[in-house]
């Protein structure tokens, strides 16, 4: 099977969508031989990656993420882009399916030749989903997609994971969120490069205007993440397709500003290094847990720690000694 990734790499580089879909299935597999093939494939396509704008999209459930991605995606395509939509959805392992797997979402976009939509892999932890999404992102770039949207369902940790793999983090909010900003934690606000108040239409338009002003005030108190960019607040109606073009223009302005200041390539270098460390710590932990002597010792040590008969630090040191000794 070792030649399979070579053929596959060529197909992906030629923009073959079915090969791309198969390759993403390969990288989502946890089988050791599949992992080796996936790594060979990623090595083969790596020189052809990195030429897209990577945008993370987050926001509370019901804010209109899929409606927005549909409108934004259509606009990007009309501007000559080819876009891939990936998801980081840590809930998909609970429901057994993915939110993005729901056929009614992004219906129009999913029928377009210039778009590629891939649901979140099921059956993985958030760390696993994030790792595989990063790899899928590289494969999509190699296949010639020059705009990658990574959607996250607004629950806790997934936003941080997405912010670590994209160039631009776009946060969607609802009109009239009030002081608590719709349960969006301050830390997540701080990750945002562009904040968009969606549903700025009909009866909700005045509330959207007030929310945008509130968010703009809150942002003024925050330390900007970049030298060349201050986070911006915009309004749109994804449903009525109002304000989408302005958002598209600001994403391009962001890319130009951070590309010009050198912060974009710097951010990607930091992300790549941090990815290496995530891989290392995950792999080390898996190797350690599957070590036969360690696994046996762990049963006993875990029981002792749980019963309060041994300090966790002592147990951890003994586990490491067993691992390194054998």
Q: Under the criterion CB under 6 A, does residue 203 sit at the interface with ligand GDP?
A: no
Part in contact with ligand GDP (CB under 6 A); list of ranges 15-23, 58-66, 223-231, 300-308? 58-66
Residues 99-128 that bind ligand GDP (CB under 6 A): none
Nearer to ligand GDP, 161 or 238 (CB): 238
Q: Under the criterion CB under 6 A, does residue 63 sit at the interface with ligand GDP?
A: yes
For every residue of the chain, which 3-state class applies, written as one string?
CCCHHHHHHHHHHCCCHHHHHHHHHHHHCCCHHHHHHHHHHHHHHHHHCCCCEEEEEECCCCCCHHHHHHHHHHHHHHCCCCEEEEEECCCHHHHCCCCCCCCCCCHHHHCCCCEEECCCCCCCCHHHHHHHHHHHHHHHHHCCCCEEEEEECCCCCHHHHHHCCCCEEEEEECCCCCCCHHHCCHHHHHHCCEEEECCCCHHHHHHHHHHHHHHHHHHHCCCCCCCCCCCEEEECECCCCECHHHHHHHHHHHHHHHHHHCHHHHHHHHHHHHHHHHHHHHHHHHHHHHCHHHHHHHHHHHHHHHCCCCCHHHHHHHHHHHHHHC
Total residues binding ligand GDP (CB under 6 A): 14
Nearer to ligand GDP, 192 or 315 (CB): 192
Phi, psi (rounded to 5 degrees) for 228: -90, 5
Nearer to ligand GDP, 67 or 98 (CB): 67
**Which of 65, 131, 132, 235 contacts ligand GDP by CB under 6 A?**
65
**Which of 168, 238, 301, 319 contacts ligand GDP by CB under 6 A?**
238
Q: Under the criterion CB under 6 A, does residue 159 sit at the interface with ligand GDP?
A: no
Distance of closest approach, residue 309 Cβ to ligand GDP, in angstroms: 48
Residue nearest to ligand GDP (CB): 64
Nearer to ligand GDP, 100 or 258 (CB): 100
Q: Under the criterion CB under 6 A, does residue 67 sit at the interface with ligand GDP?
A: yes
Nearer to ligand GDP, 70 or 193 (CB): 70
Q: Under the criterion CB under 6 A, does residue 158 sit at the interface with ligand GDP?
A: no
Q: Under the criterion CB under 6 A, does residue 201 sit at the interface with ligand GDP?
A: yes
Q: Under the criterion CB under 6 A, does residue 64 sit at the interface with ligand GDP?
A: yes
Interface with ligand GDP (CB under 6 A): 59, 61-67, 198-199, 201, 237-239
């Amino acid at each position: 099977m070792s030649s399979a990734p070579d053929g596959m790499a060529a197909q992906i580089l030629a923009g073959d969508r079915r090969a791309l879909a198969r390759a993403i299935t390969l990288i989502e597999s946890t089988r050791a031989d599949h992992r080796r093939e996936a790594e060979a494939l990623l090595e083969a396509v790596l020189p052809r990656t990195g030429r897209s704008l990577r945008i993370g999209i987050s926001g509370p459930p019901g804010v209109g993420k899929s409606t927005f991605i549909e409108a934004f995606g259509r606009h990007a395509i009309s501007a000559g882009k080819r876009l891939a939509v990936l998801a980081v959805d840590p809930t998909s392992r609970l429901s057994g399916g993915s939110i993005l797997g729901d056929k009614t979402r992004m219906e129009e976009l999913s029928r377009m030749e210039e778009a590629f939509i891939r649901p979140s892999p099921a059956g993985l932890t958030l760390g696993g989903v994030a790792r595989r999404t990063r790899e899928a992102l590289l494969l999509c770039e190699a296949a010639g997609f020059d705009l990658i949207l990574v959607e996250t369902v607004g629950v806790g940790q997934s936003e941080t994971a997405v912010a670590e793999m994209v160039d631009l983090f776009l946060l969607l909010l609802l009109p009239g969120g009030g002081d608590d900003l719709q349960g969006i934690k301050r830390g997540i606000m701080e990750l945002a490069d562009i904040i968009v108040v969606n549903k700025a239409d009909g009866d909700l338009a005045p509330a959207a205007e007030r929310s945008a002003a509130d968010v703009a005030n809150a942002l003024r108190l925050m330390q900007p993440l970049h030298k060349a960019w201050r986070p911006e607040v915009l309004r749109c109606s994804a449903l009525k397709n109002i304000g989408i073009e302005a958002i598209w223009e600001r994403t391009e302005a962001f890319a130009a500003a951070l590309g010009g200041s050198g912060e974009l390539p710097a951010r990607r270098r930091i992300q790549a290094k941090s990815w290496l460390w995530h891989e290392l710590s995950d792999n080390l932990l898996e190797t350690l847990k599957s070590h036969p002597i360690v696994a046996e010792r762990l049963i006993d040590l875990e029981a002792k720690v749980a019963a309060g008969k041994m300090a966790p630090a002592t147990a951890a040191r003994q586990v490491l000694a067993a691992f390194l000794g054998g």
